[in-house]
Amino acid sequence: MTNLNVPGLGSFADVAAYMDGVGDAARSASRALARASTHAKNLALSRMAAAIRRDAGLLAAANAEDVAAARATGNDAAFVDRLALTSTSIEAMARGLEEIAVLPDPVGEISDLKYRPSGIQVGMMRVPLGVIAIIYESRPNVTADAAGLCLKAGNATILRGGSEAMRSNQAIARCVHEGLRDVGLPETAVQVVATADRAAVGHLIADEKHVDVIVPRGGKSLIERIARDARVPVIKHLDGVCHVYIDAQAELQSAIRIADNAKTQRYAPCNTMETLLVHADIAPRVLPPLASIYAAKGVEMRGCERSRALVPAMKAATESDWYAEYLAPIIAIRIVDSLDLAIDHIARYGSQHTDAIVTDSHPNAMRFLREVDSSSVMVNASTRFADGFEYGLGAEIGISTNKLHARGPVGLEGLTSRKWIVLGTGQIRN
Amino acid sequence: MTNLNVPGLGSFADVAAYMDGVGDAARSASRALARASTHAKNLALSRMAAAIRRDAGLLAAANAEDVAAARATGNDAAFVDRLALTSTSIEAMARGLEEIAVLPDPVGEISDLKYRPSGIQVGMMRVPLGVIAIIYESRPNVTADAAGLCLKAGNATILRGGSEAMRSNQAIARCVHEGLRDVGLPETAVQVVATADRAAVGHLIADEKHVDVIVPRGGKSLIERIARDARVPVIKHLDGVCHVYIDAQAELQSAIRIADNAKTQRYAPCNTMETLLVHADIAPRVLPPLASIYAAKGVEMRGCERSRALVPAMKAATESDWYAEYLAPIIAIRIVDSLDLAIDHIARYGSQHTDAIVTDSHPNAMRFLREVDSSSVMVNASTRFADGFEYGLGAEIGISTNKLHARGPVGLEGLTSRKWIVLGTGQIRN
């Protein structure tokens, strides 16, 4: 990645000094944001949305330049598709900001305030994380979505999008800044990094002084690279090798409907099922009708030997299929002899993202819920529900596969922390 | 640090292979622990306590060898003091385990279960983190305390104490293992690393496959080194540069009592005040009587020019005093002209640990609570209350200065995470 010659953007002689300045400004803005009123934050979000609607033509024009440049440098259609803004996607950005405005403000929420024997009251207050850096690829709508969510949670944001979308991102940033300015919040609350030099990313992810958390949005290789090199905590989203386990005591039609939906409703999302586990007792009744559905939808089935005995059209699964995140119309299928073996399979091959059991057995449902160590564990529902909107978070910045801090879909609450508060009346410790 | 020739312990030709084996065993034990009943965990804790009491003589003998070796290699009295077990500290270990047994079990707690428009119920379940590695120095009681807390929270533990305490730690581990064995839990749920090779620490902190979180317990240099090199998340405890701010509207006697207690009740703890900020309007009434108290207790005062005008006995504070964590009978004192300047001072020089305001002004108290970004923020109480026992956590594994995950005193809850659970009745996504 080299510097682009974008008018008004720079090629920076000293990226480290530039990024230090960005970091200082973000840290300083984060203090203003942390004490900003809910009203000011919501009004800023509405003004940003209005500016985006008003400037839809300007945004489209800036985006057209990015798209033309991407085509000229030979990027493929899928790449250009992710980069392109349409009038629909511009309107969706504006509406997304308005939807964030109506979400409850998590900042300042006090909980669990209790008297202690010493006479002090101890509780917790929800507070912003401080400065969040978002590192993302192509899709320019992330600029508005991520800035909006971080702002509502009281955080300053440093946005580092792909160089291919820099004109689009800067145009969106102008609308975001107008909204901030209108309500008297510092424009530096949301900064879009204005250099394509990749040293900027290296600086950000190591900048423990200025950055509290990194949220990478993009392909797995981007996220792995950032997680490997970061000194700052990363809210990361890696594999989604999701399972549906059909228990011996499953209701047949429900099992087929869920296994169909979890695989075929959409193939690309991380919460789509990749491996189906079926109890041996129910497999002869489940697999043949399910295989007909998959076959009709063009889903390639790769099964264990026992599955293939029931559905001869299946290909043979190899060890690597159990680890695979296909993100495609392919499914791995395995027959297991017990709930324990299903849980063992998920522990060994899964990615701790989203796993579901279909069963009418209460003890089996409870054991699955407790013993499967994934960010979302489901009973009698499609894995496709693992999503911030479906969970009622309003919007999500991503799905975390971390165990610490936020696990699963990350909404406003995942962009905050809690501190202890103590209310006394002059108490001292003896 | 070189290998000790301790009978029954080893010098390991291949530390990495040995640590991989420890990690595999811990990961496997963590699954058994995650599903262990509250009754089994509590019974194991009681049995460990009983074994420690019964074997008090053996523990004292093993410890005496460690102490003799530490003396022989010329360690100072403070070092030997931290290493030495007494009958009182052995009894305290046993009682500590029994106190953990009576705490509520956080694992499996379901909260916030709500119906969504799709018909699914979405909520959260508290779950263990998995495998926790504790890296600590000298004090052998950490072996029992940390193992007990991690066990109650459903986690497997890898304990890596100082080589100087290895005989003591192994003796305590035998009691811990007896308790686990007695209730049918795997002994590998708590493993004490049996090599003094420091490559073991390097391996642990990079072992993302086997270790979910590192908790270092010890001096700042140990923690900084681990935090710098770790690939695994670290719950770390760095500086405690704590402030008390006496507001213009403080009640005089309360202010003096809190400022005295926060500094002098004990000098070494991290929650002891290091810098006192006093509003200019009240300083002439607060500082002279407070200075008399400090002087009588032998506390060295280092003040700004205006403070020194009120208390001529004060030395002049330099810029570095505002950053200092003395952990000693020394205090830095500064007069400020407003609440804003007090908050600015804390933001600039503080370490986000524990800060308190003394005031009768409700708006000032609320602003301080909201705007000071520290893990504990207090109104009209001594900073010395920032402690797991005082907060009602029952026991603490440490005080975290992280912003993500656990902030402030870390008890059982800080050793767990929450996953999403979904309860459906056959729902699929449209």
Q: Check CB contact under 8 Å for A429 and B390.
A: yes
Least Cα separation, residue A352 to chain B (angstroms)? 10
Inter-chain CB proximity B427 and A390 less than 8 Å: no
Structure confidence at residue B11 as a pLDDT band (50, 70, 90): low
Q: Which residue has the higher pLDDT, B236 or B282?
A: B282
Q: How confident is the model at residue A2 (pLDDT cuts 50, 70, 90)?
A: very low
- Predicted local distance difference test score (pLDDT) of residue A13: 66
Distance CA B230, CA B234 (A): 7
Chain A residues lying within 8 Å of B410, measured CB to CB: none
Contact A212 B373 (CB under 8 A): no
Give the per-residue pLDDT at B7: 41
Mean pLDDT of chain A: 93
* Closest in A260, A377, A422 to B381, CB measured: A422
Q: Place A165 in a pLDDT band, splitting at 50, 70 and 90.
A: very high
Between chains, do A420 and B407 touch, taking CB under 8 Å as contact?
Answer: yes
**What is the pLDDT averaged over residues B4-17?**
61
pLDDT at A4 over 70: no
Of B265, B380, B391, the CB nearest to A122: B391
pLDDT score at A3: 37
Chosen for mutation from A419, A423, A425, A430 (greatest number of chain B CBs closer than 10 Å) is: A419
CA-CA distance, B301 to B332, in Å (whole number)? 6
Select from B116, B382, B423 the Cβ nearest to the Cβ of A390: B116
How far is B282 from B367, CA to CA, in rounded Å?
19
CA distances from B416 to A32, B108, B296, B377, B419 (A): 32, 10, 46, 24, 10
What residues contact B210, with CB distance under 8 A and at least 6 apart?
Answer: B20, B22, B23, B24, B26, B27, B131
pLDDT score of B10 more than 70: no
Helix (H) or strand (E) holding A418: strand A416-427
Look at B375 and A419 and tell me if their CB atoms are within 8 Å: yes
In A, which residues are within 8 Å of B361 by CB distance? none
Q: What is the mean pLDDT of residues A35-44?
A: 97
Residues, chain B, total? 430
ipTM value: 0.91
- Rounded Cα distance between A380 and A261, Å, is 12
Mean pLDDT, rounded, for B114-126: 97
Name A30's Cβ contacts closer than 8 Å, sequence gap at least 6: A128, A130, A131, A155, A156, A189
Residues of B within 8 A of A418 (CB-CB) are: 407
In degrees rounded to 5, what are phi and psi of residue A106? -75, -20
Q: What is the pLDDT of residues B304-329, one digit of tens each?
A: 999 999 999 999 999 999 999 999 99
Lowest mean pLDDT among A80-89, A373-382, B145-154, B221-230: B221-230
- Best interface-test mutation with A: which of B271, B364, B379, B403 has the largest number of A CBs within 10 A? B403
Which DSSP symbol is given to A329? Answer: S
Query: What is the 8-class DSSP label of residue A189?
Result: G
Taking CA–CA distances from A418, the nearest residue in chain B reads B407
Q: What is the pLDDT of residue A63?
A: 97
Contact flag B419-A407 (C-beta cutoff 8 Å): yes
- Cα of B168 to nearest chain A Cα, Å: 32
- Sorting pLDDT into bands at 50, 70 and 90, what band is A359? very high
Among B420, B425, B430, the residue to mutate for chain A (most A Cβ within 10 A)? B420
For every residue of A56-73, DSSP letters joined together read: HHHHHHHHHHHHHHHHHT
Alpha helix ranges (H) inside A191-324: 199-206, 220-229, 252-264, 283-296, 305-310, 319-323
Q: Which of B404, B421, B430 sits opposite A213 (nearest CB)?
A: B404
